Structures are given as structure tokens and as C-alpha cells.
Amino acid sequence: NAGVTQTPKFQVLKTGQSMTLQCAQDMNHEYMSWYRQDPGMGLRLIHYSVGAGITDQGEVPNGYNVSRSTTEDFPLRLLSAAPSQTSVYFCASSQNTDTQYFGPGTRLTVL
């Protein structure tokens, strides 16, 4: 049981490039979400999903897209990377609506 896994661990992009951050969970959780952590800001919700085929926006969705085709996977796509998207990204999942389990994070730098 690997829990929540994220790839890659580190990534450097140039402004304007696109990429996909991968997130997978093997706990059969319905709820999955993406957060970003910036210095002095705590974690902020980007997008979330309550099940396959259902996604919605969080606090800071601009510049990001998500889709949920399976229960296990919830990728986060950056369409055109900007320096303001330099951050640490965490994926989380939960079965009930309260306790969420987080992945180890992806550290992204946009030059």
C-alpha cells in the first residue's frame, strides 16, 4: 500500500512551457485534491475532485487544469507556466470528508 504518490519530485520549467504533475493513490479514495504551498501562505487549494469525472475549483485555480478519468489518478496540468507558479505542490486524498492524506510533494521552479 503506497498511499499517495507524486511524480516528479522536482521540476524546472521555462516560462510558457506546459507540464503535468502526476498524482496517484491506491486506497480507493473518492476525494482527491491539489494544494500549493508558498512561503508565508500555508497550503492553498487549487482544484479538487469528489469522484471520477467530477472536478471543481478551489481557492487558486487560475493557470491549472485537472481531470479525473479514474479513481486512482488525478493529474494537474500547467498550461503555460509562469514564475508565479513556482511552488511546492501537494496532492491529497481521502475516503471520508474529513481526514486527508498527502503525497510527498513536487517542487516546481519556473524560470
Partner 1 sequence: DQQVKQNSPSLSVQEGRISILNCDYTNSMFDYFLWYKKYPAEGPTFLISISSIKDKNEDGRFTVFLNKSAKHLSLHIVPSQPGDSAVYFCAASRLFQTGANNLFFGTGTRLTVIP
Per CB under 8 A, residues contacting partner 1 are 4, 31, 33, 35, 40-45, 48, 50, 54, 56, 58, 90, 92, 97-105
The upper half-sphere exposure of residue 37, i.e. CA atoms within 13 Å in the direction of its Cβ, equals 13
Q: What sign does the CA torsion over 24, 6, 108, 19 have?
A: negative
Whole-number minimum distance, CB 15 to partner 1, in Å? 26
Residue for grid cell 509562469 = 82
Q: Which is nearer to partner 1, 16 or 104 (CB)?
A: 104
3-class DSSP state for residue 85? helix
Whole-number minimum distance, CB 36 to partner 1, in Å? 11
Q: Which is nearer to partner 1, 43 or 82 (CB)?
A: 43
Taking a C-beta distance cutoff of 8 angstroms, is the pair 92, 5 a contact? no
Whole-number minimum distance, CB 31 to partner 1, in Å? 6
